[in-house]
Amino acid sequence: MSEIFGIPIQAFMGQLMLGLVNGSFYAMLSLGLAVIFGMLNIINFAHGALYMVGAFMAWLGLTYLDLGYWQALVLAPLCVGVFGVLIERTMLQWLYKLDHLYGLLLTFGLALVLEGLFINIFGVSGQPYSIPDEFSGAFNLGFMFLPKYRAWVIVSSLVVCFATWYVIEKTRLGAYLRAATENPKLTQAFGINVPLMVMLTYGFGAALAGFAGVLAAPAIQVSPLMGSNLIIVVFAVVVIGGMGSILGSILTGIGLGVIEGLTKVFYAEASSTVVFIIMAIVLMIRPAGLFGKEK
């Protein structure tokens, strides 16, 4: 049996695949953060909470309305998106003229409220959401059994990520969006409704988080705290990638997922800190982030 750095090649490939799965989640979440940041100049601390709400929507739909996984995959992000729009209209829009830090503080408070409420209603141990029947079982890839659901996670999140990239970078709508990011006043003067675009952008970012939540629901326990553990790592991912580029945040997310996965094989003890260590190194060498532009 061949080996890489003393690890059987099978195990190595297996961990690589799993790293890709986690990387997909990082990519989706950091993409949402980047889109929101680009338009609103706000770091959305509530992103983890919205991801959690997405997972709970799926569970609630299944338990009380008998909605299956596929319906949830469409409806839950929509609900979270609408919820995001409500947040933007009722709260965030009053903060744009102020220091960006207020946006961070507000969304941090929102995250606490959401988590607290869900704990009160559903308890902390969380709720089970089983894997949809279509995806039970596993593919035999030769080097590992990859559960079908994990494969679906990789495929669907990559599709969503690159669709987002395409819309923003290659379409007319995306061009408006980029223009509004660059110079809101001028864009407004050209007759484009900038506040509407800002609102929809936040809604879309929230919907992305909700979508990630639904994808995560069958794989991990649906619990009120599932988002807060993840969000700090995603922040580090965002710092490493820099939020200047959409593609950059996708690639950084996937890449770090893979690196983290491999760390679990070589030195599992460090797997929780490896992302932060990389962040420190990147900050020393390239403070603006790998894909960031120095402003």
Partner 1 sequence: MSRSAIGYIALVAFGLIAPFFIYPVLVMKVLCFALFACAFNLLLGYTGLLSFGHAVFLGTAGYVTGHALKVWEVPTLVGLLAGTGAAAVMGWVIGSLAIRRQGIYFAMVTLALAQMVFFYFLQAPFTGGEDGLQGVPRGTLFGFDLADDMNLYYLVLAIFAASFWLIQRTIHSPFGQILKAIRENEPRAISLGYDVAKYKLLAFVLSAGLAGLAGATKTLVFKFATLSDAHWHTSGEVVLMTLLGGMGTVFGPLVGATVIVTLQNELADKVGSLVTVIMGAIFVICVLAFRRGIVGESLALYRRMIGQKP
Partner 2 sequence: MKQKILVGLTAMALATLGTQGAFAQAAKAKTGKLSGDMVKVAVMNDMAGVYADIGGPGSVEAAKMAVADFGGKMFGKPIEVVFADHQNKPDVGASKAREWFDVQGVDMIVDVPTSSVAIAIAKVANEKKRVYMNTGAATKALTNEECTPYTVHYAYDTYALANGTGKAIVQTGGKTWFFLTADYAFGHALEADTAAVVKASGGEVKGAVRHPLSASDFSSFLLQAQASKAQIIGLANAGGDTINSVKAANEFGLTKTQTLAGLLMFISDVHSLGLKTAQGMMLTDAWYWDTNEETRKFGRRFFDKMKRMPSFDQAAVYSATLTYLKAVQEAGTDDADAVMKVLKKTKINDVFTKGGYVRADGRMVHDMYLMQVKKPEDSKYPWDYYQLKKVIPAEEAFQPLALSTCPMLKKK
- Could you list the residues that contact partner 1 (CB under 8 A)? 37, 43, 91, 94-95, 98-102, 104-106, 108-117, 119-120, 232, 235-236, 238-239, 269, 272-273, 275-277, 279-280, 283-284, 287
For tokens 């890489």, what's the residue?
Answer: 4
Q: Is 240 in the site for partner 2 (CB under 8 A)?
A: no
CB count, 10 Å around CB of 96? 15
Q: Is 125 in the site for partner 2 (CB under 8 A)?
A: yes
The torsion angles phi and psi of 145, rounded to 5 degrees, stand at: -95, 115
Q: Is 225 in the site for partner 2 (CB under 8 A)?
A: yes
Beta bridge partners of 222: 127
In terms of CB distance, is 7 or 259 closer to partner 1?
259
* Residue 104 binding: pick among partner 1, partner 2, none (C-beta 5-8 Å cut-off by kind): partner 1
Alpha-carbon gap, residue 253 to 24, rounded angstroms: 7
* Residue 139 binding: pick among partner 1, partner 2, none (C-beta 5-8 Å cut-off by kind): none
Question: What is the closest distance, in whole angstroms, from the C-beta atom of residue 6 to partner 2 in the complex?
Answer: 14
* Residue 13 binding: pick among partner 1, partner 2, none (C-beta 5-8 Å cut-off by kind): none
The torsion angles phi and psi of 88, rounded to 5 degrees, stand at: -60, -50
Amino acid identity, position 231:
I
| Total length of the chain | 295
Question: What is the closest distance, in whole angstroms, from the C-beta atom of residue 109 to partner 2 in the complex?
Answer: 17
Alpha-carbon gap, residue 205 to 50, rounded angstroms: 10
Cα 110 → chain centroid: 17
For tokens 């049996």, what's the residue?
Answer: 1
Question: What is the closest distance, in whole angstroms, from the C-beta atom of residue 81 to partner 2 in the complex?
Answer: 24
Alpha-carbon gap, residue 172 to 191, rounded angstroms: 14
Q: Which positions touch partner 2 (CB under 8 A)?
A: 11, 14-15, 18-19, 21-22, 25, 116, 119-120, 123-128, 130-131, 138, 144-145, 147, 149-150, 219-221, 223, 225-226, 229-230, 233, 261, 264-265, 268-269, 271-273
